[in-house]
Amino acid sequence: MKTKKLLSFITAAALLITSVTGCSSKTSSEDVKEIKIGAMLPLTGDIATFGQSAKNALELLTEQVNKEGGIDGKTVKFVYQDDENKPASSANVTQKLINDEKVVALVGSIGSTCSIADGPIATENKIPMVTPTSTNPKVTTEGGEYVFRACFIDPFQGTVLAKFASEDLKATTAAILYDVANDYSKGLAEYFKANFEKAGGKVVAYETYNTGDQDFNAQLTKIKSLNPQVLLIPDYYQTVGIIAKQARTAGITATFLGGDGWDSPELFTIGGDAVNKGYFSNHYSPDDKAKEVQDFISAYKAKYNTTPDALAALSYDAGKILLDAIDKADSLDGVKIIEALKATNGTFVSGSVTYDKDRNPVKGAVIIKTENGKQVFEKKVNP
Amino acid sequence: MDFLNFLQQLINGLSLGSVYALIAIGYTMVYGIIKLINFAHGDIYMVGAFIGFYSVTLLKLSFIPTLILAMAGSAVLGVIIEKVAYKPLRNSPRITLLITAIGISLLLENGFRFIFGPNPKPFPEVLPAKIIYLGPIRIGLIQIIMFTVSMVLVLALQFIVYKTKVGKAMRAASFDTETAQLMGINTNNTISFTFALGSALAGAAGVLVGIAYPRIDPYMGIMPGLKAFVAAVLGGIGVIPGALAGGLMMGTLETFTKAYISTKLSDAIAFSILIIVLIIRPAGLLGKKTNEKV
């Protein structure tokens, strides 16, 4: 008898709680004094430096915009949530930002696997989402109408790297070691392979590992015996550092190549000398003399006392693209904001941005050389 | 050329396998004595790695003191877990113990994540990353040390188990706990000692791995723990030499699969072979078939 009463009480309480959280009210833009934008970023985890850079850039942007009076007189506020670069957590915090924080737009996430998970949630809730750095094409094709990005996509990045390998490094053989469980790594590997072979090169080894693996000796011994001139390691800086070290110990003398996942000072802390004399494709270089770049760098340096990396530049751009669209739309309604986003046409820190039919921007890339523990600008590549 | 490649891969496999062996021995010892699969064992390995990390970065200790401190710390943790979580449940159904073990595992993983943060930490260089050449075969100095330390610890363990009184007590208790108690053996202390030994070995494995693959994080114990458990079962759970053999086999099997069959399917194939071996020999390779006498 007692348990039956307890059970019915719990059921009633549960129903009451769910009915309250189910309600969401759409606030009209007139009586809202601030523009709340959610940012799901990997503030901790295996790409923590990326998330931190993104947050720094968005905070700088918030400061600058609010000092000028905000957008249409409303202050801009970013709400940050940590997704640890785990897709399940990312989907979770995205939902939380939409339901609990009632944000009108989203900036994030950083890793492609997370953004691919977040996109459908944004579109379903009609909340515009701009990812600063996720380069895998699936983010927009699977994400839906409301998902945009501020960076180039991996098919382009793969082409840039393949071209650099065959034309600049004059390599005819390449090996690829990628993370089979990471959409970014996998995509970049595929696009590099396709383009390198189209340019006449031969991919002698196309090996994989799983996220979180520590021992790559089996794959590296295999690759060494095939003697490639170039080894592509399309992963994030933590793993790249470890693979590079093990590769050199295994006796591989090939030049290492990578993508924008390499962009972190920790690459050198972890990889040591093994990551020097390598090349990676990136979205911007601090050596670029363009006005937008130099203005951003001096503002960032003044606030944080360090040169911004591409993650910061792209996050700044993503935030700016979104705020410009909200300003132009003159509304906090998702439908109007995405129309304004589609019509974006401006020059930002990482280059000029106009959107194609898949909501991807057509932009250029830079090749960066790693030398003596530092990044050195090598060349610019236009689409 | 191919034979040299084979030898190189064999070395890779053995050094990887020695880590699995160290962890697997802990699993098998605990199972042998109280018939519990200690799922928290993989996380004790993780704790050992963290103790090693802080010994090197905060206390600035060198290799051997770090190893000893990590082993001691892990042993203490193992004994505490046993006293707090497993001893009170000794007469409960096996499933209760199993669930408790899983709970401790989650507690360790998330507790460490909460205290130390989920960011992977780079293990500083404690041993020089030298390479030793035997002709065209390259062996990392660290790989040799990993293998050697593992073998030394296993030999030490064999000595303890077969040549000391405590070892005799362990063997007696694992054969039949109640009778051992009737014979005057303090089974509680014996069980605690078993946990301490097994955990010390896992802690040593954690430090060795931290040095060899310099990246540690609170979840690093999950996959190696699982593979070591498989290795212990493969070799015959409850049989210490079986755990050693199982560990080395798992390491070499995984490496050869990656080298000669496919890197994508390495885990799938390695575990499939386990299933096949268990179908043919259910007690594991070195396991003894125990007959239940009514």
Q: How close, in Å, is residue B293 to chain A by CA atoms?
A: 44
Phi, psi of A181 (to 5 degrees): -95, 5
How many Cβ atoms from other residues are within 10 Å of residue A126's Cβ? 16
Three-state secondary structure call for residue B109: helix
Reading phi first (left if > 0) and then psi (alpha if -120 to 50, else beta), residue B121 is in beta
pLDDT computed for residue B7 by the predictor: 86
> Which backbone phi and psi does A173 adopt, to 5 degrees?
-125, 140
Task: List residues of chain A with CB under 8 Å from any CB of chain B.
Answer: 44-46, 48, 84, 180, 207-210, 212, 214-215, 217-219, 221-222, 225, 238, 241-242, 245, 249-251, 266, 269-270
**Pairs of CB atoms within 8 A across A/B:** 74
Domains of chain A, each with CATH number or no CATH: 34-152+289-364 (3.40.50.2300), 155-282 (3.40.50.2300)
pLDDT at residue A271, as a whole number? 86
Query: For B218-270, what is each residue's pLDDT tens digit?
Result: 888 988 888 898 898 888 888 888 889 999 999 998 888 888 887 778 888 87
Best residue in A49, A50, A209, A217 for a mutation probing chain B (most B CBs within 10 Å): A217
The answer, for B113 touching chain A at a CB cutoff of 8 Å, is: no
Contacts of A217 in chain B (CB under 8 A): 12, 16, 255
Q: For an interface test with A, which of B5, B45, B119 has the most A Cβ atoms less than 10 Å from its Cβ?
A: B119
Q: What burial letters (b/e) apply to A205-239, b meaning 16+ CB within 10 Å?
A: bbbbbeebbbbbbbbbbbbbbeebbbbbbbbbbbb
**Ranges of H-type helices in B59-140:** 63-81, 94-116
The ipTM (two decimal places) reads 0.78
Give the per-residue pLDDT at B261. Answer: 81
Tokens of B240: 């210490």
Tokens read off for A4? 């039956």
Residue in chain B nearest A51 by alpha carbon:
B119
Name residues whose C-beta falls within 8 Å of residue A78's C-beta, 6 or more positions apart in sequence: A37, A38, A39, A58, A59, A62, A107, A319
The number of beta carbons lying within 10 Å of the beta carbon of residue A197 is 14
Classify domain B12-280 at the CATH class level.
Answer: mainly alpha
SS3 A42: coil
Q: Are A383 and A326 in contact (CB under 8 A)?
A: no
Sequential pLDDT tens for chain B (294 residues) = 578 888 888 888 898 899 899 999 988 888 888 888 889 999 999 999 999 999 888 888 888 899 999 999 999 999 999 999 998 888 888 889 889 999 999 999 999 988 887 777 877 777 777 788 877 778 888 888 888 888 888 888 888 888 998 888 888 888 888 888 888 888 888 889 999 999 999 999 999 888 888 788 888 898 888 889 889 888 888 888 888 999 999 999 888 888 888 777 888 887 887 788 888 888 878 876 665 555
Which amino acid type is present at position A375? Answer: Q
CB contact under 8 A, B120 and A215: no
Helix residue ranges per DSSP H, chain A: 2-22, 48-67, 87-99, 112-124, 138-143, 154-163, 183-198, 217-226, 237-250, 266-271, 291-304, 310-329, 334-342
What is the pLDDT at residue A27? Answer: 46
Whether chain A has a CB inside 8 Å of the CB on B13: the answer is: yes
Residues 6+ apart with CB under 8 A from B292: none
The CA distance from A39 to A129, in Å, is: 9
| CB atoms B263 and A245 under 8 Å | no
What is the token pair recorded at B235? 């070799």
Q: Which of B239, B288, B280, B9 is CA-nearest to residue B143?
A: B9
Each of the 383 residues of chain A gets a pLDDT tens digit; together they read: 577 777 777 777 766 665 555 444 444 444 578 899 999 999 988 898 999 999 999 999 999 999 998 888 889 999 999 999 999 999 999 999 999 999 999 998 999 999 999 999 999 999 999 999 999 999 999 999 999 999 999 999 999 999 999 999 999 999 999 999 899 999 999 999 999 999 999 999 999 998 888 889 889 999 998 999 999 999 999 899 999 998 998 889 999 999 999 998 889 988 888 999 999 999 988 888 888 899 999 999 999 999 999 999 999 999 999 999 999 988 888 899 999 999 988 889 888 888 988 899 988 899 999 999 889 988 888 87
DSSP per-residue codes, B23-72: HHHHHHHHHHHH----TTHHHHHHHHHHHHHHHHHTS---HHHHHHHHHH
Chain A residues with CB-CB distance to B119 below 8 A: 44-46, 48
Please check whether residue A154 is in contact with residue A187, taking contact to mean a CB–CB distance below 8 angstroms.
yes
pLDDT at A29: 46
Per-residue pLDDT, B294: 55
Give me the phi and psi of A285, to 5 degrees please. Answer: -130, 140
